[in-house]
């Protein structure tokens, strides 16, 4: 409607709204009754246009007949584009920036008086106001979307916090109750040495579970407070006994066989305590979510300049959409158990330990091959 009104009022055959920047002239809308050939999306070399001058001087340029104009008689643009009359009014946004121009040309001279200039100016201001309005609407939509996303994040965080507290309380209560019950039985009953040994072993397992939960909570809290996972200054160390001790502890506590293959012929520079914790967390995850009647396999070796350590368990595979967030805190893999492992805290801490050693954790999971978590980190010799 604006372009039709401008063309009808002035007799100009081609009218357009152009987006004009320092290095671009783009047709946004056009009315072409003289076969000039520009349609929305078409571009001109901005250096060849008079609109560039309009943008630079921030004021209108109007020429009824270039042949009678001292400024534009010998100007290259009218000759290049074949016009005799020209109008261009800047579209100035509310922030003072030049967005583009409302412009028109015609191959014949056209009388352009004050009324034409006023009409183009009114329409240019109208276009600027509409652009401002569209931007305000877009900002409003963005703010609404961000507000909804923020509200949803807060709701999710609150839900996860409540769930986390409930699960932690449950998981800590169980081993404490087991130890308390065992102590009462030892104090009040005459027990055979065999029964006493079984009770002591069960209490050790319970205390190990509680210790792991507390250690993970402390590491998670430190990480959230910005301190990150603490790693002692790496030193040359024989990691084989470190890993074998962890595997032995898990086998004893979980009562599930672990089949290890460890090939580390030399000492490597690392934090042995943290790498032991990493392996313990991966094995704990395998115990919690793997098939209890199938052994867990551990493969640790130095390959191509890397320490590669993998833990594999059989059982229900992890869906790809869950794998994406497994190493994030509070990420959950729905399983037969809901625990700290189910919330992904152990895997998150393991991934942070890997990162602190310049490495990473990967996961692969399928029905045929089982679920494998693999550590890749630089193997720095002593």
Q: Among the residues of the chain, which ranges form H helices? A: 2-10, 51-57, 76-81, 114-188, 193-224, 239-254, 272-289, 320-323, 340-343, 345-356
DSSP-derived letter for residue 381 is B
How many Å from the N-terminal Cα to the C-terminal Cα in the chain? 79
pLDDT tens, residue by residue, 249-268: 888 777 789 999 999 999 99
Among the residue ranges 51-65, 136-150, 206-220, 352-366, the one predicted with the least confidence is: 206-220
pLDDT tens, residue by residue, 38-93: 999 999 999 999 999 999 999 999 999 999 999 999 999 999 999 999 999 999 99
Pairing of strands 296-303, 258-263: parallel
- The reply to whether 145 falls in a domain is no
pLDDT tens, residue by residue, 145-175: 999 988 988 887 777 677 667 666 666 776 7
Structural domain tally of the chain? 3
**Domain of 37: which CATH number?**
3.30.450.40
Rounded CA-CA distance 323/332 in Å is: 10
Is the pLDDT assigned to residue 212 strictly greater than 50?
yes
Cα 373 off chain centre by: 22
User: Do residue 219 and residue 241 come from a single domain?
Assistant: no
pLDDT of residue 234: 78
Range of the domain at 358: 235-378
pLDDT of residue 96: 95
User: Do residue 241 and residue 292 come from a single domain?
Assistant: yes
- Segment 345-367 shows an average pLDDT of 91
- The reply to whether 200 falls in a domain is yes
pLDDT of residue 171: 63
User: Do residue 104 and residue 167 come from a single domain?
Assistant: no
Instruction: Tell me how far CA of residue 202 lies from CA of 196, 247, 337, 338, in angstroms.
Output: 10, 18, 19, 21
Q: What is the model's pTM?
A: 0.51
User: Do residue 28 and residue 106 come from a single domain?
Assistant: yes
User: Do residue 174 and residue 309 come from a single domain?
Assistant: no
- The reply to whether 119 falls in a domain is no
Q: How confident is the model at residue 126 (pLDDT cuts 50, 70, 90)?
A: very high
Which of 89, 112, 135 corresponds to the end of one domain? 112
User: Do residue 339 and residue 265 come from a single domain?
Assistant: yes
User: Do residue 240 and residue 319 come from a single domain?
Assistant: yes
- The reply to whether 340 falls in a domain is yes
- The reply to whether 366 falls in a domain is yes
**Domain of 186: which CATH number?**
1.10.287.130
Q: Between these two residues, 7 and 195, which has the higher pLDDT value?
A: 7
Which of 63, 95, 112 corresponds to the end of one domain? 112
- The reply to whether 229 falls in a domain is no
**Domain of 346: which CATH number?**
3.30.565.10
Is the pLDDT assigned to residue 300 strictly greater than 60?
yes
Q: Between these two residues, 327 and 74, which has the higher pLDDT value?
A: 74
Q: What is the mean pLDDT of the chain?
A: 88
User: Do residue 202 and residue 332 come from a single domain?
Assistant: no
- The reply to whether 230 falls in a domain is no
Q: How confident is the model at residue 1 (pLDDT cuts 50, 70, 90)?
A: confident
């Amino acid at each position: 409607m604006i372009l039709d009104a401008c063309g009808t009022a002035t007799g100009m055959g081609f009218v357009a709204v152009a987006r004009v920047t320092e290095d671009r002239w783009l047709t946004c809308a056009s009315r072409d009754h003289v076969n000039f050939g520009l349609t929305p999306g078409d571009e001109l070399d901005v250096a060849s246009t008079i609109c560039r001058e309009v943008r630079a001087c921030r004021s209108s340029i109007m020429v009824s007949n270039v042949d009678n104009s001292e400024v534009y008689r010998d100007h290259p643009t009218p000759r290049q584009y074949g016009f005799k009359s020209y109008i261009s009014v800047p579209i100035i946004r509310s922030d003072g920036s030049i967005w583009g121009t409302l412009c028109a040309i015609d191959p014949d001279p056209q009388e352009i008086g004050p009324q034409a200039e006023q009409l183009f100016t009114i329409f240019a201001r109208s276009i600027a106001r509409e652009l401002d309005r569209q931007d305000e609407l877009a900002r409003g939509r963005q703010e609404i979307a961000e507000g909804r996303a923020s509200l949803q994040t807060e709701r999710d965080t609150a839900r996860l916090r409540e769930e986390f507290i409930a699960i932690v309380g449950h998981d800590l209560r169980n081993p404490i109750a087991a130890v308390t019950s065992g102590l009462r039985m030892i104090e009040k009953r005459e027990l055979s040495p065999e029964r006493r040994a079984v009770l002591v072993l069960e209490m050790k397992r319970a205390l190990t579970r509680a210790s792991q939960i507390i250690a993970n909570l402390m590491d998670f809290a430190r990480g959230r407070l910005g301190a990150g996972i603490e790693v002692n200054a790496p030193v040359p160390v024989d990691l084989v006994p470190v890993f074998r001790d962890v595997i032995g502890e898990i086998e004893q506590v979980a009562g599930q066989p672990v089949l290890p293959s460890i090939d580390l012929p030399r000492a490597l520079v690392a934090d042995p305590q943290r790498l032991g914790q990493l392996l313990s967390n991966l094995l704990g995850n395998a115990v919690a979510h793997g098939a209890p009647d199938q052994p867990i396999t551990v493969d640790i070796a130095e390959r191509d300049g890397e320490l590669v350590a993998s833990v594999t368990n059989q059982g229900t595979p992890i869906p790809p959409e869950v794998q994406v967030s497994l190493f994030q805190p509070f990420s959950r893999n729905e399983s037969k158990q809901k625990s700290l492992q189910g919330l992904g805290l152990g895997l998150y801490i393991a991934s942070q330990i890997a990162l602190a050693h310049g490495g990473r954790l990967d996961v692969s999971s399928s029905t045929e091959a089982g679920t494998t978590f693999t550590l890749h980190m630089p193997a720095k010799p002593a």
